[in-house]
Amino acid sequence: MLTAIQELDYRPSTAAVSLAGTRSRTVGVVLDDFRNQWFVDLLTGLREALQDQGHRLVVADRFLNTGLDASPVEGFLSMRVEGIVIAGEPDTDLAIPASMPVVIAGGRVSIPRADTVANDDRAGGGMAAEHLLALGHTRLGFVGASSAASKERRAGFEATVAASAGASPAVVVLPGEPTEEAGSRALGALLDEHPDVTAVFAANDVMALGALSELAERGLRVPEDVSVIGYDDTPVAATRYVGLTSIDDRSVEIGRGAGERLLARIADPGLAATESLVEPRLVARRTTAPR
């Protein structure tokens, strides 16, 4: 028997095993967009929390599935996942059954019966403003998009700038996703209207990269002419080539917390929904400097 198994290169079907048993030991993860590197650390934290209990992760990207009729949740249900993690802002059309344990990781838009584990975006926005103000900048700009996280970061940023004597914020927010191209367009519009801005806070690192590109095309130096700070502290921000100052949203901790909360909800589906906020921290690099 063993010889035949080796010769045929037989592999047991995990789907068939889960159908035959009562537990699938599988968790579905719905991502906003694989292109955003914020998810790398979040998935690391999720795996750390779930692997000790023998749970596997199955990941679906809503961006890649755009245009398909089926929701990623339908695929998860067919696999008999034991719980679902929504990494980002949940869509209202996900149609998750009321009995399914759900945790939102990183998003601030709540849905019924779901726990939320997220970064304190408002505090992080204030932290970005404090850093730029401490460097002596008084004309500060913000570029963002229409996501809930971007709105929270903007609110914290504006409140901190407004509370500082002699400082004023300039803001450009574009509808849609916080992409690199959106960051470039938003910064262009910001500088066209406010050419005296000397420091810019982007809603995330991806938009910050777009802002850096726009500054380079305009012949402006970073940080000599304009300081730039991003958010999420993604791997690209830490590269020696970019060296982007960023607010670390501590996404590993968010992922780990989401995994732990999901395990608790799987064990006791009747738990009351909770919201847990992770405190961000500043990581200063070479894209910010004194005015």
Rg (the chain; Cα; Å): 22
Q: How would you label 50-81 residue by residue, b for 16+ Cβ within 10 Å and e otherwise? A: beeeebebebbbbeeeeeeeebbbeebbebeb
Handedness of CA 252, 93, 205, 247 (dihedral sign): negative
**Contact predicate 163/190, CB 8 Å:** no
Judge contact between 120 and 103, C-beta under 8 A: no
Among 162, 168, 159, CA closest to 140: 168
Separation between Cα atoms, residue 33 and residue 24, nearest integer Å: 26
Residue whose C-alpha is closest to residue 283's, from 76, 67, 124: 124
The helix (H) or strand (E) run that includes residue 78 is helix 72-78
pLDDT in tens, the chain (291 residues): 445 445 444 444 444 444 445 678 899 998 876 667 788 899 999 999 998 888 999 988 766 555 555 677 777 888 899 999 998 877 666 778 888 999 999 887 777 788 999 999 999 999 999 999 999 999 999 999 988 899 999 999 999 999 998 888 889 998 888 899 999 999 999 999 999 999 999 999 999 999 999 999 999 999 999 999 999 999 999 999 999 999 999 999 999 999 999 999 999 988 999 999 999 999 999 999 998
How many C-beta neighbours within 10 Å does residue 171 have? 17
